[in-house]
Amino acid sequence: MKRVLIIATGGTIASTSDGDGGGLTPTASGRELADKVPLLDTIAELDFVQPMNIDSTNMRPRDWLKIRDVIVEAYDRYDGFVVLHGTDTMAYTAAALSYLIQDSEKPIVLTGSQQPMASPFTDAKLNLYQSVLYAVDDASRDVNVVFSGKVIAGTRAHKQRTMSFNAFSSMNYPSLAYIRNNRIVRAGEAAGVVAPERIGAAPRVYDGVDERVIVLKLTPELQPSIFDLLKRDYDAIILETFGIGGIPSYGDGSYEDAILDWVGSGRTLVVTTQVPEEGLDLGVYEVGRAYADNPGILKGDDMTTEALVAKTMWVLGQTRDPHKIRELFYREVNHDRTTF
């Protein structure tokens, strides 16, 4: 029987109410959660660790590194890992772990629930059971989110719904697999395939992230002076443009000046779209073309905003050399971008 390490971090799945009108708070341990799931101990030998017990709203990059440390320290002793996590920031953590632990032959699965384990109508039991089931399958590898019967690459998950059990969607990339009863149905020949040179190799593990990254969403009449105001606290901006890549010009060049000044100051600018599906193309409209060929501006293409945040933090945690930043940023990791 394979060994799986359950890494419990809190979230809705572990939450209970104080019964006096207070909100839900994570209190249950990983072992207590697993004890509520029928037949879980028949598919794997389970061990438990609890590096934190927090609402995922409070999950920070330093916590990603704690989870990474737990996995790396235990990597040789287990066949797979299941991270129990709150849903609100699960996509960020899944993306971050995809960059911090790359090319893992062993599956690292994140899951949680929309209802606490203690709820009479919870989705927590099935999500936890299916996550362990996926973690012990021979073809599973890398960082994934398993939720509501779907397996999503860790860099492609996006929380699409706040209440429904099918909370997560795989953005601009097919789900890697579906879980029906006890059967894993993999989508396409590429799912689970390992490059020959990586067979038997240890994962690539990285240290350090730059937390000084912010997402800036364009809205009508947002003043370009915001770029200068952000210089004190941030090293990189993920700029969510209009549509397929529209950035205002207003006829006075103020936006272009502000953006080029930001890049010229040695800071990083990543351009993406605030539209969730289908991605960015700066070359379509005149309002985007001014930035399309600037080597200091990185293009997010069809990546999720969550993955862009995590990847930019990871990249800037490794280097400040502009050429190396571009090389790392455009390197495909765990299906994070479609290369054309």
CA gap 117, 136 in Å, rounded: 22
**Between the CA atoms of 76, 80, 85 and 87, what dihedral angle is there, to the nearest 10 degrees?**
140
Distance (Å) of CA 53 to CA 1, 15, 59: 28, 9, 10
Cα 159 vs. chain centroid, distance in angstroms?
10
CB 212 within 8 A of CB 233: yes
From the list 9, 87, 111, 122, the catalytic residue is 87
Cα 258 vs. chain centroid, distance in angstroms?
30
According to DSSP, the β-strands at 108-111 and 143-147 are parallel
CA gap 232, 236 in Å, rounded: 11
Q: Is 304 a catalytic residue?
A: no
From the list 9, 12, 111, 273, the catalytic residue is 12
DSSP 64: H
Cα 279 vs. chain centroid, distance in angstroms?
17
> What burial class does residue 273 get, using C-beta atoms within 10 Å of its C-beta: 0-12 exposed, 13-18 middle, 19+ buried?
buried
According to DSSP, the β-strands at 101-102 and 204-205 are antiparallel
- Looking at the chain, list the stretches that DSSP marks H as alpha helix, in order from N- to C-terminal side: 30-34, 61-74, 90-100, 124-135, 226-229, 254-264, 286-292, 305-318, 322-329
**Residue 133 CA neighbour count, 13 Å, CB half:** 24
What's the sign of the alpha-carbon dihedral 217, 328, 231, 210? positive
Q: Is 87 a catalytic residue?
A: yes
CB 236 within 8 A of CB 267: yes
Report the SS3 class of residue 135.
helix
Phi/psi of residue 41, nearest 5 degrees: -75, 0
Residues that are catalytic: 12, 87
